[in-house]
Amino acid sequence: MLINCVAYRDGERVADVAVDRIREQLEQPGVFVWVALRDPSADELEQMRLEFDLHPLAVEDAGKGHQRPKVEEYGNSLFVVMHLIEREGDGLRVGEVAVFVGPNYVVSVRTHSAQHFLGVRERCEREPELLRQGPGFVLYALLDAVVDRYFPVFDSLETELDDIEGRIFLRGTASINVERLYGLKRKVGVLKHAVAPLLEVVSKLHGGRTPAVCAKTQDYFRDVGDHLGRIDDALDAIRETIGTAIAVNLSMVTIEQSEVTKRLAAYAAIFAVITALAGIWGMNFEFMPELKQRWGYPAALLVMAGCAGLVWRRFKRSGWL
């Protein structure tokens, strides 16, 4: 669906534009058109392709979705894909925004995401001296908004890791912690797959050979690159911490299993003593000492209990029980 379609001149909003009037605005000197679409149909994308003369391959990628973050040049225009990451229950939901940028237009196509960019448009309109730089600044504003939304997701993952670390040495939680750590590792991987390729994308928009549409906004893209670099480094640190925590938890599982094994072995030894005595007195020989004693049975039980008690005490002092 079409969210909005607005024309700008010299950093100022000119007017909302009907789709069938876009071509007229593009022919005006100093005017660029900014169109925002959400989950568009094939017909809507085809209409945008005809109005802005977009490359068919880029339009096909925008329509299919599920693209890796990337930047592609088609003549004097750019096609940029970014991932939108948001919390959904205990997991992460991945959406996309594809942006077509030309000398006098910006077309953003958002799919599989409930996030919106109304605040980005308002921010740009509050800064006409920057919006005057044209579509390159709009691309920066959209890119900066996407990256800023990574920070709360990263913070939530960091908080989740801190919570798991605080429970590592609680008895009986090792198996649950390992399961949670593997779930957290998958979520970190999702964010990493959004950040790392996007860092490569931004590096192509400043310094060296820069696309003409971004020539005036290189410093802004460099700033976004710094933010992405910090997130990328922090994600690497979290992944290392998760690996260490998993190893510690697996060690805790082994220790807990060893403790159980030691207890079982101790009790087996106690019952082995009783079984040995019972086996000796249970032999069916005719001439055995104490066989005719009136208090033989109670005495035998007392000896068994005493020997079992001695063995139990020994294991208790050694820490096996």
User: Can you give the residue range of the structural domain that contains 139?
Assistant: 1-147
DSSP 147: H
Do residues 125 and 265 share a domain? no
**Could you tell me if residue 155 is inside a domain?**
no
**Could you tell me if residue 223 is inside a domain?**
no
Report yes or no: 83 and 69 within 8 Å, Cβ to Cβ: yes
**Could you tell me if residue 214 is inside a domain?**
no
Name the nearest CA neighbour of 216 among 120, 140, 106: 140
Residue 102's DSSP bridge partners are: 105
Q: What is the pLDDT of residues 197-253, one digit of tens each?
A: 999 999 988 877 788 888 888 899 999 999 999 999 999 999 999 988 888 888 877
Q: Which CATH number fits the domain that encloses residue 1? A: 3.30.460.20
Q: What is the pLDDT of residues 140-158, one digit of tens each?
A: 999 999 999 999 999 999 9
DSSP 83-130: EEEEEETTEEEEEEEEEEEETTEEEEEEES-----HHHHHHHHH-HHH
Whole-prediction pTM: 0.79
**Could you tell me if residue 280 is inside a domain?**
yes
**Could you tell me if residue 226 is inside a domain?**
no
Q: Tell me the CB-side half-sphere exposure of residue 311, using CA atoms within 13 A.
A: 17
Q: What is the pLDDT of residues 157-209, one digit of tens each?
A: 999 999 988 888 787 777 788 888 999 999 999 999 999 999 999 998 887 77
Q: In the listed set 98, 119, 147, which residue is the last one of a domain according to the structure? A: 147
Phi-psi region of 66 (alpha: psi -120 to 50; beta: other; left: phi over 0): left
**Could you tell me if residue 289 is inside a domain?**
yes
What band does 36 get if pLDDT is binned at 50, 70 and 90?
very high
Number of domains within the chain: 2
**Could you tell me if residue 211 is inside a domain?**
no
Report yes or no: 117 and 145 within 8 Å, Cβ to Cβ: yes
